[in-house]
Copies of this chain bind each other. A is one copy, B any other.
Amino acid sequence: MTDGQSFDGTKILITGGVGFIGSNLARRLVSLGARVTLVDSLVPEYGGNLFNLAGFENRVRVNISDVRDRYSLNYLVQGQDYLFNLAGQTSHMDSMHDPFTDLEINSRAQLAILEACRHANPGIRVVFASTRQIYGRPRYLPVDEKHLLRPVDVNGINKMAGEGYHILYYDAYGIRATVLRLTNTYGPRMRVKDARQTFLGIWIRLVIEDQPFEVWGGEQLRDFTYVDDAVEALLLAATRPEAIGRIYNLGGERVISLRELAALLVKTNGAGEFLIRSFPEERKKIDIGDFYSDYRLIRQELGWEPKVPLNQGLSLTLDFYRRYLPSYL
């Protein structure tokens, strides 16, 4: 468990702060006494949703700007104790259709943020949210941090560069950065309007709307991190000296096939229906088969492990969207 004292009175910047993970992290940090600024572009296709701040709008500062806006970020990093760098373009399909926008957000903007830190706030502590997507198709399972990186989409390559800059700016300039490679994160405040952030989002929406949802394939194994566990990892990464300059996988408390996950979701909801469908041609090219990650390194070094069981996490998520679904459509 994080020592809550660490954040009391600290100044914190969260890019992508109005999004799914950012807003959950912000709530936690505010409860720990931190003074939090959220940066978000609110690009409609991405994860930012002002409803994510419902009930604590007055306890954070919200700055609407895009990480590609260098001048804004140059200013905002000044005087901060921590930067949680979560902003990103996350759609794999978008990255293939418009690779340059993905490069601008996931690669170039990250470099600009680090340059801003180096020049204006070299003492800042940075945590970067990377993704298991950069491994590509697993050569072995579970996938640990030594696994080769061979991304299957432009997004993966740009995220790989984005995390590379963070580690480099520590190695070369001493900017204290940590990289977390997140696997499938889920929970309240995730995007459920469509499958742009995760397929689990649209499943949850449809099951609540009493409509059948589609499972592509079904036999693929995956792991899932409940958002509170991901937030805990972010806090540990930010505060533990051992984490500086390190790259850690997150993971889930169990491995499950998509078919079983669909069945578990229906069971947890008490009703619902899903259809198993074969992969659309365009997705097949970038499908990676089974994936689950080895999170022993962060367990060993920082003592993190996923605590929320999948059925409980799904139940909490369903409860949230049963109350607030209209605000996410």
Contacts and interface: CB of A to CB of B under 8 A. Distances in A.
A171 B157 contact: no
A154 B111 contact: yes
Contacts of A167: 150
B149 A157 contact: no
14 contacts: A99-B115, A107-B107, A108-B108, A111-B154, A149-B164, A150-B164, A150-B171, A152-B171, A156-B168, A157-B164, A157-B168, A160-B160, A160-B164, A172-B285
A100 interface: yes
Interface in A130-181: 146, 148-154, 156-158, 160-161, 164-165, 167-168, 171-172
B111 A103 contact: yes
A32 interface: no
Contact of A111 (B99, B112, B156): B99
Contact of A148 (B96, B107, B146): B146
Contacts of A286: 172
Interface in A266-294: 285-286
Given A99-B111, A103-B111, A111-B103, A157 B165 contact: yes
Given A157-B165, A158-B161, A160-B161, 12 more contacts: A96-B172, A100-B108, A111-B154, A149-B164, A150-B167, A152-B168, A152-B171, A153-B168, A154-B165, A154-B168, A160-B164, A171-B285
Contacts of A161: 107, 157-158, 160-161
A172 to B, nearest CB: 5
Nearest to A285: B172
A170 to B, nearest CB: 11
Contacts of A172: 96, 152-153, 285-286
Interface string A280-310: 0000011000000000000000000000000
A164 B96 CA distance: 14
